[in-house]
Amino acid sequence: MDPLVIEPNREPTATYLLPTVGYQEGRLSQAAPFGFVEQDREEYYRATHLQAIKFQIAQLVLAHLVGERGGRSDAQTRVWRLRSRHQLFPQVFRFVDECVRRKVDFHEVDPRELGLEKYVMRMVGYLCDAIVPDDAEGETPLLPVLNRYKPFGTTAEVDFKTTRPCHGTQRSHINQVVLDTHTWEASAAFRLEGSEAVTCYARNDHLGLMIPYEFQGVDHYYEPDSSCA
């Protein structure tokens, strides 16, 4: 796993505020009768424990592993998830604890800075990517999410209008390649058209070919650019 770096230069642990007194015209002045007031995270440190932050991270990772975010919600599935939580939580927490000890660079700041949402979600993303099923124990591997109503895609349905520049094709069964940029799409189409190794190709434009994935607790979709044969 890549190390997680706490960045106190980007997330300052203290700041100074200047009270606004009366009415001012023009630019703000740094002189005030009451001076600066320091705001820091001491109260947050007094009310937060590093152990609680680790438990929170483990809970979010576990929710991802047992599929609590979406999916089936029938009674049988809920019972299965409850049993899975009891069995998996000690393992997940052990991973979180080891990751915090070995992979987090705190830059000599308070370890409870890890509790900021930015670092919590980054840690959850790292762990979810690194944890894989144990095939030796009979756990099923990660399977693709298929569209049951349209299991096979086809380029026969590609028919749309665009105002962007296009380039005619000879080796593609789609008669035009839309050039969003003059660097990537134009150069890729030029190379594909001139390659004897390419029998056919299609740019993934209005094909609906997207790969869902999750990063730092947020759902995303990766859209491949093209496919060749």
pLDDT in tens, 190-201: 888 888 888 888
**pLDDT tier, 73 (very low <50, low <70, confident <90, very high otherwise):** low
**pLDDT tier, 226 (very low <50, low <70, confident <90, very high otherwise):** low
16-25, 44-53, 85-94: least confident range: 16-25
Q: Residue 145's pLDDT is what?
A: 64
pLDDT in tens, 9-39: 888 888 877 766 655 555 555 555 667 778 8
What is residue 156's DSSP assignment? G
CA distance 170 to 49: 64
**pLDDT tier, 207 (very low <50, low <70, confident <90, very high otherwise):** confident
Using alpha carbons, list the distances in angstroms from residue 10 to 5, 14, 124, 132. 11, 12, 20, 32
Q: Residue 114's pLDDT is what?
A: 93
Q: How confident is the prediction for the chain on average, in pLDDT?
A: 79
Q: Residue 10's pLDDT is what?
A: 84
pLDDT in tens, 119-159: 999 999 999 888 877 767 666 655 666 667 777 777 887 88
**131-164 burial string, b = 16+ CB within 10 Å, else e?**
beeeeeeeeeeeeeeeeeeeeeeebeebeeeeee
Q: Residue 100's pLDDT is what?
A: 94
- Whether 229 has a pLDDT exceeding 60, the answer reads no
Do the strands 176-178 and 4-5 form a parallel or antiparallel pair, or are they unpaired?
unpaired
pTM of the predicted model over 0.75: no
